[in-house]
Amino acid sequence: MAELDWQYRWDDGQNTDIPSDTLKDEGWQSIEFPANPPERNGQTQVWFRTVLPAVTMSEPVIYVTSIDINVEAFVGDKLIYRFGEFDDEGNGTFLGWPWHDMPLPNDFAGRPLYLKVYSDYTQIGLWGETKIQDRADMLLDVITSGLHELIVAAFSLLIAFIALVFAVFRGTQREFFYLGLFSLATAGTLIGENLAMQLLISWPLLKTYLAAISYFAMPIFIAMLLYYWVDDAKGGRLLKAVAILHQVYLIAVVLLSATGMINLATAYPLFDFLFVISLLLMLTVTLRVSRQMNIVRQLVIGAFGLYAIILLADMLIAHGLIPWVNFPMAYGGLLFSLVLVVVSIRNYIQTHTELEALNQTLEQRVVQRTTQLNDYVKAEKDRRISLERQNLFASKLERFNTKLQSCNCLAEASDLFRDKLAHVFSPAIVEVSMDGQEMDDLPDGQLRLQELKGSNHVFASLRLERAAPMLPKQDAEEMIRRASQRLSVTLGNIKLREDLQRYSFEDSLTGLRNRRFFDDALGRDIQLAEREQSALSLLICDIDHFKRFNDKYGHEAGDVALQSVAAKLKQQFRQSDVPCRLGGEEFVVLMREANLDDARAKAETLLQAIATNHIDYHNEKLGPLTVSAGVASWRGDEPDAEALLRKADKALYKAKQTGRNCVVVFEEDKPFDAAL
């Protein structure tokens, strides 16, 4: 229909609803094609007219690729087609950019065709291809002309899916994420602008929104891709700013158009201007760093550059800057998708290689971890057995230590060591040596007792003879060390108790029992003699002229003299007799089961032994000492123990008066009987 004679007439402010006689005759001017008449000056309403040619068709229609933006078609005065709504002032709203098929009446030949067009867009009128066709031929042309675009769109969707899958599973590969989104935007643009999709989607505005959102999103994804590749110092921040600007623009356009504040069509001119500026900025930044990129990135940038040229050409056609041709924009999307295929295949091969290497590494790690786990299980099993063995040993050691704590003396503890200690270390075989035996063998454990004077001696020695099959030698030795440390403390406590008891009842100079021990023993022995009706005698002796001896030889010699007398007391009396030092130079002997005659005889033997004994002092023999003794026996009628002691003391006093170095026996039936 471009070859027909067309005329136009601006209609702003007149709002002519149908072609009236006035409209037919006034203000018409010739135009080559019914689009963008001159002298628009912001006007939005225009009429176009021509005379329809005579053609023969079964179902004739006028096919128009697109119209900016609303239209009413008349044949004569009869309305044959309308797209969009017109208000009382002749204005309309944007409802999309569909293709149009205007049905013609059978008698259309030679009749005038009137087109009333409203547009607040930069373009007004018909756009693209315009022709009279049979409806069947028109539908076939629509389907065939858009088929290749649908194929490319489907291919782009597949590539987008593959790229996004790569992005998800590779994690760090953000470039595949942006490439996938760009390919998705390409597919959306092709689908939204595809003519054949109108046969499936009956809402033109929905198709237009899909195409617009996809088209407006393209610079966002390509700018973010380049930002991911380019360092901030080399223009990365500028690319990010471009992406943010287009993102804001996309959101604003969608919100404003959805709320009816603007027509979506009016957003295209400003976007195209921004898109051109953005392409120049991205091209400038990319050229500066392209040589530093790998071949894959250079290939992607080259494909996008060719695609950008196609988009620019389509932009020029859309704005009427160059004549309309059916420009194959789908081929730009196809080229870009093919590049993505190459990139994806290369990445797949790289990923597969990495996965194989990772699989081998994982297998090695699995073997290593399995070995480590087995070692750990074995170590845990050994540790459990060791802990059970240690707990059993600790339990047996504690039971033995409890028995040891109940011992009253070291002799009793020694018997317990010989009988029971070796069983504590079972199943290991440990030899227990007592009283310092085998000290030259350097035993693994020694239990030493500390003397009050500072020296120490080995109470017992522990030596490992043989460890058990499930008991390592080092563990058995550790058990011996633990036992030695634990039992040494308990033995020390026993010895301390024993020493305290001994030193509380023992004279430190002579080694004899002291006065405290004598007082307790005398009371117990009198009760025992009274209960068993046994004899009990008491001897008290005193060194004659001891003060004179001390003055002559000194106190140190006097101590030696006291020790000498004490030694004779230990020698002359039985094991059952108890010699004690009462204090100073006075001694007493408690003789159990000894009558008065036995006591006298023992006393006389003692005096003779002392009198014949010389005292060695600093390699010098000092003259012999003499002692006086008093003897008394328990008769059963004494009121208390002190009574028996007083009797013996009286006899001693009598011996001193009689002339010393003699024995006096206390008898009830006569005053005193002395024996010299």
Catalytic residue numbers? 585
- What gap in Å lies between CA 104 and CA 496, rounded to an integer? 131
- What gap in Å lies between CA 116 and CA 18, rounded to an integer? 9
- What gap in Å lies between CA 298 and CA 294, rounded to an integer? 6
Burial (CB count within 10 angstroms: exposed 0-12, middle 13-18, buried 19+), residue 377 = exposed
DSSP 8-state class, residue 2: T
Specify whether the CB–CB gap between 207 and 198 falls below 8 A.
Answer: yes
Structure tokens at 274: 């921004």
Full DSSP string of 201-240? ---HHHHHHHHHHHHHHHHHHHHHHHHHHS-GGGTHHHHH
Structure tokens at 219: 């610079």
Query: Which of 50, 34, 40 is CA-nearest to residue 11?
Result: 40
Query: Which of 67, 72, 63 is CA-nearest to residue 91?
Result: 72
Query: Which of 157, 158, 144, 242 is CA-nearest to residue 199?
Result: 144
* Rounded (10°) CA dihedral 481, 484, 487, 491: -160
For 557, other C-beta atoms within 10 Å of its C-beta total: 17
Specify whether the CB–CB gap between 570 and 606 falls below 8 A.
Answer: no
- What gap in Å lies between CA 375 and CA 664, rounded to an integer? 90
Structure tokens at 173: 């590969």
Full DSSP string of 334-350? HHHHHHHHHHHHHHHHH
